């Protein structure tokens, strides 16, 4: 059933071979073909603009008031590309290997190689669009190294790389809107996928301004709706991020792969109170100069600067001497949680660790540190009121990135023909852990350089299909179902807010399907989520009417999260090994490190929806390693 | 903290709208301004009342969606700060806080504090881009750009499109927004080719959307969360005038 469609042959020829043999659609026919793109982040904007340029008729949707606010805008650190501009030995194979290894050997070789292969063109594309990347004094592009790799391959635009890449893609999209090839629907939320004869043929969306339910038909549908890490409620994600689009598609038959692999980022700001709505990320680059520690003494009362060296536990340096404060995200997050759980956490809620710059300031001087991280220190002070030049920052792990998502084949097509998933919404490329700066890359590459070919290959067989008539039965029933769901939510008439349920779910998931998992905890979580879901349908209250109503929007998203959360637990439960972001306490080495089991778990878990009252069905796509040998990831 | 709020309530774009009083006790000074609104909404919901609609998403100061007028200032009392990055510790115990939507003819109110800023998208559609199709880009280092130039382009490109500049301008001018994009693109060699077409179309679109003219009061720069400089407006005018001169 799961045909990954990776072309045969040597790694370096696979994508070229695919492109040489992909079917084409001639320009006259493109004008007759319609494509729906849901999402205007890097993945959505780049594919919508590219298809518009090629002459397809495109409809672009997002729930924000303008495409430019998609969550890609928040990415700070940078985007990877192997240009070897530093002459330090970077090349496609090395980048491929770092990514495969970083993902703990749980991704497909063919996909990852292609990601590395296309990375250089992305920088070219972005520069041509006017993205103001950092430059050397001679006018050439600068880059730096990031997250545990030994070469410089991360391009950046100050601490706002995502913003600038997104503006480039957004401007390309706006140009197509002006030319009339793309129709824009901001403040529209996709609430269902319409399939006809097994193929994706359109979507049902809610106009968030009027409350109207609209039908849109197309020859193919692309979901580029980003990650669902907001399911934990407290996360680094924007408030509106959701899993609804992929979840509704899942219920229409699209498989979801590896849903429990959520990256927990080590350097976020800690939760400071119950009211808190999000955790702000501090760029990982801070770990280049900051040292992470907790007091050796459980009930340390002294202020951090008064704690002498001998009473501090620099636990990353202690446990991972080779990488120390720069160890990969999964390792650093888990080590922090271990200390916090053991009772050494700091701050009023004892839920954080220190990130200390005092040594760097002493050695390099404050101006140097200010030059490197000034904007981050300012941001930190704005949020916490603390001056991090004078006392250490408080940081803590936070949910950040979904490695899982809709299962897609090499063409980025889901198990529903004509339904494609791009960017963070698909599961591809990152395995069990994502290396820093690879996600912006994946979102862009999917949209600019992969889907334009693979979509053409699919659409070539659709040129005889007339414009999709949205008065067909399939649209009627999908629209009726959506309206029924919305009315049902509105009429529960309980006492509790959607946020209440979201926070409760988030806490269950964080404790039991977060940084570490156990069989017992996951089984409990499944039961707790089931009970919470039942309570949701009895106790939810949504004030207001059917038009502009944020509470209704939230409720719909939480309803989906309550189902997706359960699936995440099933996924984590069946994977009886530890790998990347997934740490099962039963499977660890005597030193407390993750213990992978390649013999039994070298596969992608793809889940099928079996109805509300049945457990999901697991399908396995075996991972073949032809070109690299999985090794133990050691950062000691 | 105990605070009193006067908040703009408006059912929809037809409704006349009015200020309404609310009170909140036990506000934590570490709460962000939007978390304070969340708290108020939770209480309204508990009483079965319609919650206050406001725009926001990233809550990180970067998406540009959260702007409101707070005590008559765009994004509130702090300099260069978005509403979501403002914290309750910036207010005094017992203070009365006025919260209203950004107001401009080109930004119609949709509901409560939610407004329609799609006019800014249409200004970008009119020419705020470099016309390059996917797949035709030359090798990136074949277009060297001096460090200083790239940094200056970045300073302009950093605009988050929040609309505060329009809201604080007595003429509701979008000159800061538009000129920032013009400067960003014209400084770069890639963007220079289309410079004159771009400035003409974007300025015309700005007028067509009902934004006013710039009369150099510079309130926009003072309230901009990204510290976008009014010098870009001078550049926009210069580019525009150059175009007029060359035409005749
Ligand atoms: C704080 C932060 C910092 C990061 N820093 C980095 C970094 O430095 N480097 C890096 O490589 N990665 C980074 N990442 C990850 C990276 O930003 C994301 O993975 C990537 O931008 C996702 O892009 P996307 O296009 O897939 O989705 P998004 O940009 O999230 O876009 C999703 C789009 O889908 C739309 N949408 C969603 N659901 C619906 C629906 N139901 N109906 C209609 N529209 C919908 C939204 O409106 C939006 O337009 C960071 C992430 C965060 C949160
Ligand atoms: S919510 Fe994004 S800038 Fe405030």
Instruction: Please write the tens of the pLDDT for every residue from A9-40.
Output: 999 999 999 999 999 999 999 999 999 999 99
Whether residue A70 has its Cβ less than 6 Å from ligand 1: yes
B154 to A507, B31, B159: CA distances (angstroms): 40, 31, 9
Cα of B26 from ligand 2 centre, angstroms: 24
What pLDDT was estimated at residue A149?
Answer: 75
Half-sphere exposure of A478 (CA within 13 A, CB side): 29
Nearest to A399 by CA among A602, A616, A581: A581
Q: What is the mean pLDDT of chain A?
A: 95
| Segment A564-573 mean pLDDT | 98
Q: Which is higher by pLDDT, A624 or A634?
A: A624
Give the contacts of B136 (CB within 8 A, at least 6 positions apart): A128
Torsion sign, CA atoms B228, A160, A61, A172: positive
Indicate whether B50 pLDDT > 90: yes
Enzyme catalytic residues of A: 329
Decide which of A355 and A148 is more confident: A355
Which residue reads 């030059």 in tokens? A371
Report the CATH number that the domain containing residue B12 is assigned in CATH: 3.10.20.30
* Mean pLDDT, rounded, of chain B: 97
What phi and psi, each to the nearest 5 degrees, are found at residue A297?
Answer: -100, 125
CA atoms within a 13 Å half-sphere pointing along the CA-CB vector of A302: 12
The residue of chain A with its CA nearest to that of B61 is A74
**pLDDT score for A148:** 62
Q: What pLDDT was estimated at residue A372?
A: 79
Q: Which residue has the tokens 């600067």?
A: A305
Ligand nearest to the CA of A227: 1
Rounded distance, CA A64 to CA A44, Å? Answer: 13
Residues B123 and B198 in one domain: yes
How many CB atoms lie under 10 A from the CB of residue A190?
A: 26
Establish whether residue A4 lines the binding site of ligand 1, counting it when its CB lies within 6 angstroms of any ligand atom. Answer: no
pLDDT of residue A368: 87
**Window 126-165 of B, Cβ < 8 Å to A:** 126, 128-141, 143-147, 150-151, 153-154, 157-158, 160-161
Of B62, B112, B33, B122, nearest to A186 (Cα)? B122
Closest ligand 2 atom, residue B59 Cα:
1
Q: Do A128 and B141 touch (CB under 8 A)?
A: no
Residue A429: pLDDT band with limits 50, 70, 90: very high
Task: Please write the tens of the pLDDT for every residue from A231-247.
Answer: 999 999 999 999 999 99
Q: Which domain holds residue B32?
A: 3-111
- The interface pTM score, or ipTM, of the predicted complex is 0.98
CB of A178 within 8 Å of a chain B CB? The answer is yes
Q: Which atom of ligand 2 is least distant from the CA of B64?
A: 3
Tell me, letter by letter, the H, E, C secondary structure of B88-102.
Answer: HHHCCCCCEEEEECC
CB A440 within 8 A of CB A455: no
Q: Which ligand is nearest to the CA of A163?
A: 1
The answer to whether residues B126 and B96 belong to one domain is no
What local confidence, expressed as pLDDT, does residue A147 receive?
Answer: 62
Chain A residues touching B160 at Cβ < 8 A: 73, 163
Same domain assignment for residues B15 and B99: yes
Question: How many Cβ contacts (< 8 angstroms) between chains A and B?
Answer: 220
User: What pLDDT sits at residue A73?
Assistant: 98
Atom nearest to A40 CA in ligand 1: 49
CB of A41 closer than 6 angstroms to any ligand 1 atom: yes
Regarding whether B123 and B216 lie in a shared domain, the answer is yes
Predicted local distance difference test score (pLDDT) of residue A31: 97
Give yes or no: residues B50 and B92 share one domain.
yes
Q: Is the CB of A423 under 6 A from ligand 1?
A: yes
Q: What CATH number did the domain enclosing B182 receive?
A: 1.10.1060.10
Residue A115, helix vs strand vs coil? helix
Mean pLDDT of A137-152: 84
Interface contact B30-A163, CB threshold 8 A: no
* pTM recorded for the entire structure: 0.97
A338 pLDDT tier (thresholds 50, 70, 90) = very high
- Segment A581-616, tens digit of pLDDT: 999 999 999 988 899 999 999 999 999 999 988 999
**Which of these ranges, A31-40, A263-272, A571-580, B45-54, has the smallest mean pLDDT?**
A263-272
Residue B248's pLDDT band (cuts 50, 70, 90): low
**A546 shares contact with chain B (CB less than 8 Å):** no
Q: Hey, are the CB atoms on A135 and B135 less than 8 Å from each other?
A: no
**CA diameter of chain A:** 76
Q: Which residues pair with A381 in a beta bridge?
A: none
Distances (CA, A) of A142 to A85, A439, B188: 8, 20, 16
Paired tokens of B236:
């926009």
List the alpha helices (DSSP H) in A513-575.
519-539, 550-574
Show the tokens assigned to A180: 């009339």
Instruction: Please check whether residues B107 and B122 belong to one and the same domain.
Output: no
Indicate yes or no: CB of A69 within 8 angstroms of CB of B38.
no
Cβ A558 vs Cβ A501: under 8 Å:
yes
A132:B141 CB<8 A: no
Q: How far apart are the first and last CA of chain B?
A: 64
- Residue range A182-221, pLDDT digits in tens: 999 999 999 999 999 999 999 999 999 999 999 999 999 9
Q: Is B14 on the interface with A (CB under 8 A)?
A: no
Which residues 104-133 of A are in CB contact (within 8 Å) with B?
121, 123-130, 132-133
Best mutation site among B62, B87, B111 for testing chain A: the one with the most A CBs within 10 Å?
B62
> What pairing do the DSSP bridges indicate for beta strands A182-185 and A57-61?
parallel
Statement to judge: residues B126 and B99 lie in one domain: no
Q: Both B127 and B50 in a single domain? A: no
Assess whether B169 and B228 both reside in one domain. Answer: yes
Structure confidence at residue A187 (pLDDT): 98
pLDDT level of residue A46 (50, 70, 90 thresholds): very high
pLDDT of A373 over the 90 cut: no
Ligand nearest to the CA of B60: 2
**How far does the centroid of ligand 1 lie from the alpha carbon of residue A450, in Å?**
18
The alpha-helical segments, DSSP class H, found in A340-463 are 358-364, 366-384, 439-445, 451-459
Q: Is B123 in the same domain as B223?
A: yes
Q: DSSP H helical segments within A435-497, as ranges?
A: 439-445, 451-459, 473-490
CB B162 within 8 A of CB B225: yes
- CB spacing of A67 vs B190 below 8 angstroms: no
Rg of chain B, C-alpha, whole Å: 20
Which residue blocks in A575-619 are alpha helix, DSSP H? 598-601
Determine contact: A257 vs chain B, CB below 8 A.
no
Q: Concatenate the DSSP letters of all residues of A76-99 into one string.
A: -S-EE----TT-SS--HHHHHHHH
Q: Identify whether the C-beta of residue B56 lies closer than 8 Å to the C-beta of residue B75.
A: no
pLDDT, average across residues A346-370: 94
Domain total for chain B?
A: 2
Rounded distance, CA A491 to CA A485, Å? 10
Please report the pLDDT score of residue A442 as a whole number.
Answer: 98
Tens of pLDDT, residues A305-336 = 999 999 999 999 999 998 888 888 888 999 99
Q: Give me the percent of chain A exceeding a pLDDT of 90.
A: 89
What chain A holds in terms of domains, given with CATH numbers, is 268-398 (3.90.700.10), 473-600 (1.20.58.100)
CA B167 to CA B174: how far, in whole Å?
A: 9
* Pairing outcome for strands B96-100 and B69-70: antiparallel
State whether residue A504 is helix, strand or coil: helix
| Cα B200 to averaged position of ligand 1 atoms, centre (Å) | 34
Nearest-CA distance from B197 to chain A in Å?
Answer: 14
Task: Tell me whether residues B150 and A132 touch, CB distance under 8 A.
Answer: yes
Identify the three-state secondary structure at position B109. Answer: strand
User: Is residue B200 domain-shared with residue B99, that is, in the same domain?
Assistant: no
Please determine, for residue A144, whether its predicted confidence score (pLDDT) is greater than 90: no
What pLDDT score was predicted for residue A379?
A: 85
For residue A228 and ligand 1, the question of a CB distance below 6 A is answered with: no
Residues B22 and B95 in one domain: yes
Rounded to an integer, the average pLDDT of A564-589 is: 97
Decide whether any atom of ligand 1 lies within 6 Å of the A38 Cβ: yes
- Binding pocket residue ranges, ligand 2, CB within 6 Å: B 56-66, 82-84
């Amino acid at each position: 059933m799961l045909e990954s469609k990776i072309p045969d042959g040597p790694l370096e020829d696979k994508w070229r071979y695919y492109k040489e043999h992909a079917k084409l659609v001639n320009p006259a026919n493109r004008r007759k073909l319609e494509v729906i793109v849901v999402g205007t982040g890097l993945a959505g904007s780049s594919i919508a603009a590219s298809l518009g340029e090629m002459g397809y008729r495109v409809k672009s949707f997002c729930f924000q008031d303008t495409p430019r606010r998609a969550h890609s805008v928040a990415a700070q650190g940078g985007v990877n590309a192997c240009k070897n501009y530093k002459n330090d030995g970077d090349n496609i194979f090395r980048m491929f290997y770092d990514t495969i290894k970083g993902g703990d050997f749980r991704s497909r070789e063919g996909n990852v190689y292609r990601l590395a292969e296309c990375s250089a063109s992305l920088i070219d594309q972005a520069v041509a669009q006017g993205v103001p990347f950092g430059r050397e004094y001679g006018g050439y592009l600068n880059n730096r190294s990031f997250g545990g790799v030994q070469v410089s391959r991360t391009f950046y635009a100050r601490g706002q790389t995502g913003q600038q890449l997104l503006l480039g893609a957004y401007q390309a999209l706006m140009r197509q809107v002006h030319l009339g090839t793309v129709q824009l629907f901001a403040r529209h939320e996709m609430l269902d996928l319409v399939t006809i004869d097994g193929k994706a043929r359109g979507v049902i969306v809610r106009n968030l301004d009027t409350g109207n339910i609209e039908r849109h038909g197309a020859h193919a549908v692309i979901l580029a709706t980003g990650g669902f890490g907001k399911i934990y409620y407290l996360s680094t994600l924007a408030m509106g991020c959701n899993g609804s689009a992929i979840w509704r598609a899942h219920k229409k038959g699209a498989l979801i792969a590896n849903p429990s692999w959520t990256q927990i980022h080590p350097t976020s700001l800690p939760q400071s109170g119950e009211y808190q709505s999000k955790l702000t990320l501090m760029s990982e680059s801070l770990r280049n100069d900051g040292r992470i520690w907790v007091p050796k003494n459980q009930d340390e009362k002294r202020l951090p600067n008064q704690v002498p060296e001998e009473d501090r536990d620099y636990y990353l340096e202690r446990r991972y001497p080779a990488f120390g404060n720069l160890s990969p995200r999964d390792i650093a997050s888990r080590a922090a949680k271990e200390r916090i759980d053991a009772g050494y956490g700091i701050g009023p809620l004892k839920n954080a660790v220190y990130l200390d710059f005092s040594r760097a300031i002493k050695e390099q001087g404050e101006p140097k540190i200010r030059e490197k991280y000034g904007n981050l220190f300012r941001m930190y002070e704005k949020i916490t009121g603390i001056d991090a030049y004078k006392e250490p920052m408080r940081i803590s792990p936070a949910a950040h990135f979904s490695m899982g998502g809709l299962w897609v084949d090499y063409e980025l097509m889901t198990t529903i023909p004509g339904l494609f998933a791009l960017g963070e919404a698909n599961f591809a490329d990152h395995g069990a852990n994502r290396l820093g700066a690879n996600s912006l890359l994946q979102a862009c590459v999917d949209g600019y350089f992969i889907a334009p070919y693979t979509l053409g290959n699919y659409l070539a067989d659709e040129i005889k299909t007339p414009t999709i008539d949205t008065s067909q039965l399939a649209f009627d029933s999908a629209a009726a179902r959506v309206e029924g769901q919305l009315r049902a939510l509105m009429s529960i008439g309980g006492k509790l807010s959607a946020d209440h349920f979201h926070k409760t779910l988030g806490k269950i998931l964080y404790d039991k399907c977060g940084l570490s998992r156990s069989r017992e905890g996951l089984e409990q979580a499944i039961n707790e989520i089931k009970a919470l879901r039942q309570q949701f349908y009895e106790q939810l209250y949504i004030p207001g009417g059917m038009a502009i109503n944020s509470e209704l929007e939230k409720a719909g998203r939480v309803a989906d999260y309550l189902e997706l959360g359960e699936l995440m637990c099933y996924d984590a439960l069946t994977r009886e090994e530890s790998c990347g972001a997934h740490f099962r306490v039963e499977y660890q080495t005597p030193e407390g490190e993750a213990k992978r089991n390649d013999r039994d778990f070298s596969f992608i878990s793809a889940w099928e929806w079996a109805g509300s009252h049945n457990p999901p069905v697991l399908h396995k796509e075996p991972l073949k390693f032809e070109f690299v040998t999985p090794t133990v990831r050691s950062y000691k | 903290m105990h605070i009193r709020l006067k908040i703009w309530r408006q059912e929809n774009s037809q409704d006349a709208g009015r200020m309404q009083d609310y009170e909140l006790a036990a506000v934590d000074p570490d709460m962000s301004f939007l978390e304070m609104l969340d708290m108020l909404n939770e209480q309204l919901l508990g009483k079965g009342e319609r919650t206050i609609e406001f725009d926001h998403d990233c809550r990180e100061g970067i998406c540009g969606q959260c702007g409101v007028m707070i005590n008559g200032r765009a994004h509130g009392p702090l300099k260069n700060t978005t509403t979501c990055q403002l914290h309750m510790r910036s207010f005094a115990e017992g203070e009365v806080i006025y919260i209203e939507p950004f107001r401009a003819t080109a930004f119609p109110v949709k509901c409560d504090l939610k407004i329609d800023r799609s006019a800014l998208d249409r200004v970008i559609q009119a020419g705020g881009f470099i016309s390059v199709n996917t797949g035709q880009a030359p090798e990136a280092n074949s277009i060297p750009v001096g460090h200083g130039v790239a940094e200056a382009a970045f300073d302009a490109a950093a605009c988050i499109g929040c609309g505060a500049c329009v809201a604080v301008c007595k003429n509701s001018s979008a000159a800061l927004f538009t000129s920032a994009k013009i400067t960003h693109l014209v400084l770069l060699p890639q963007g220079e080719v289309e410079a004159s077409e771009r400035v003409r179309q974007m300025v015309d679109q700005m007028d067509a959307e009902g934004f006013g003219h710039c009369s150099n009061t510079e309130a926009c720069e003072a309230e901009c969360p990204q510290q976008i400089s009014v010098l870009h407006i001078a550049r926009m005018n210069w580019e525009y005038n150059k175009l007029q001169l060359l035409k005749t």
